[in-house]
Amino acid sequence: MKRNIIVLTTALLLSAGAGAQKLSIPNVFRDAEQQTLVMLAEIDKAKNGSKELVSPRTIENDCLRLVKSGDWTSGFFPGVLWYLYEYTKNEDWREKAKAFTANIEKEQWNGSTHDMGFKVYCSVGNGYRLTKDEHYKEVLIRSAQTLSTRFNKTAGVIRSWDHNKQKWDYPVIIDNMLNLELLFEASRLTGDKKYYDIAVSHADNTMKNHFRKDYSTWHVVDYDSTQYGKINKKTTHQGYSDASAWARGQAWGLYGYTMCYRETKDPRYLKQAENIAGFIFKHPNLPKDLVPYWDFNAPGIPNEPRDVSAATVIASALLELSAYSKKGSYYKGLAKKLLINITEHYRAPVGKDFGFILLHSTGSKPANSEVDVPLSYADYYYLEALLRLKKINK
């Protein structure tokens, strides 16, 4: 699955902006349906009778890699199925979405991870939004209760990882911003403000401690568990260096603070989102087609892998931001250009690549893991962005 990065980069730089200026959302969803049918068949083959492997994550060694429900990416494919149902209103997609979502529900009890939002909200959350099934409501509330056990009141943040304790004491990663949406939803569903307060506290402390003066973000902030007001160190785990700007980290920040503004209407969050967008789109290393390299400071630019997953998260966030900001038309224009370029140059051919919709994402370049491959979350946020654009166009 590895691609010739140098050739790809050169071709995209030459062709950026030269393709179609219109984006046919019906055509994209038609192709996405075809790809997902391929994916469903490939999942059956890859499971080989396993009941623990529940969702596709990527392609590894020319094979479809499936993950257990505990993997942080497990909720994205059920979310893709819910988005197909939302767009098509086809009951077959609804039934498939329900079946794959059921495989994730046991994660509501898993307190060993902060990724409850990614796993449960992207699957069960979309299911509840589209069906109002009371069972899904109960799962969401229990999931928020479980996630809230990872919150430390003194530190004011939710602990991200329990692993690598020899490396970090109380690590908090920028990705964690997206898990706050589950807490806001739980507060609405229960009328209990404690979930809202936890989300706001985490967002405030992340804004205070994660961001540099230029609004780039560190990936990992390690708090001192013996003196929670103190920070041990600020590092990166998936970016190029501790001083660099990991592309997907910027995307998580943009998406997270846009969502937090939606939920709170706190103008500080709106300003934060606008400033993060400013960092991204004013950066001299952002390619002409707006699909970022895996790190804005990667040393081999322009011969570095892209990260389409970061691009889709950014596009989806921009479309929501366009509804709140005075610069809404500007953000919408950027998002449309980004989606056009992704659609024209980064999609998998129909019937190929095990049914993934998009190619050329990067998971963790420093670990040489998932470099220049499809990733399930790129597909998820791509369809989400297209649905948001469809609503805005209406």
Number of C-alpha atoms within 13 angstroms, CB side, residue 346? Answer: 35
Bridge partners, 152 (sequence order): 157
Q: Which of 92, 84, 141, 151 is nearest to 355 (CA)?
A: 84
Q: Quickly list H helices, 283-365.
A: 308-321, 328-345
pLDDT value at residue 261: 98
How far is it, in rounded angstroms, from Cα 312 to Cα 318?
10
**Tokens 């209760």 appear where?**
145
Q: What is the pLDDT of residue 17?
A: 37
End-to-end alpha-carbon separation of the chain, Å?
38
3-class DSSP assignment, residue 12:
helix
Question: pLDDT in tens for each of the 394 residues of the chain?
Answer: 444 443 344 343 333 333 345 899 999 999 999 999 999 999 999 998 899 999 999 999 999 999 999 999 999 999 999 999 999 999 999 999 999 999 999 999 999 999 999 999 999 999 999 999 999 999 999 999 999 999 999 899 999 999 888 889 999 999 999 999 999 999 999 999 999 999 999 999 999 999 999 999 999 999 998 886 789 999 999 999 999 999 999 999 999 999 999 999 999 999 999 999 999 999 999 999 999 999 999 999 999 999 999 999 999 999 999 999 999 999 999 999 999 999 999 999 999 999 999 999 999 999 999 999 999 999 999 999 999 999 999 8
Kindly list the distances between the CA atom of residue 259 and the CA atoms of 32, 108, 242, 272, 287, in Å, as whole numbers in the listed order. 26, 22, 26, 11, 26
Report the catalytic residues.
Answer: 115, 175
How far apart (Å, rounded) are the C-alpha atoms in residues 301 and 322?
30
Pseudo-torsion of CA 165, 171, 176, 182, nearest 10°?
70
Query: What pLDDT score was predicted for residue 21?
Result: 57
> What pLDDT, on a 0 to 100 scale, did the predictor assign at position 348?
98
DSSP code at position 368: T
What predicted TM-score, i.e. pTM, was given to this entire model? 0.94
The number of beta carbons lying within 10 Å of the beta carbon of residue 199 is: 29
- Cβ atoms of 92 and 40 closer than 8 Å: no
Contact between residue 325 and residue 345 where contact means Cβ atoms under 8 Å apart: no
Pairing mode, if any, of strands 231-235 and 361-364?
Answer: unpaired
So what's the pLDDT on residue 1? Answer: 46
Separation CA 126–CA 248 (nearest Å) = 23
**Could you give the domains of the chain?**
1-51+258-394 (1.50.10.10)
Strands 170-173 and 361-364: unpaired
Q: Which residues contact 61 (CB under 8 A, 6 or more apart)?
A: none
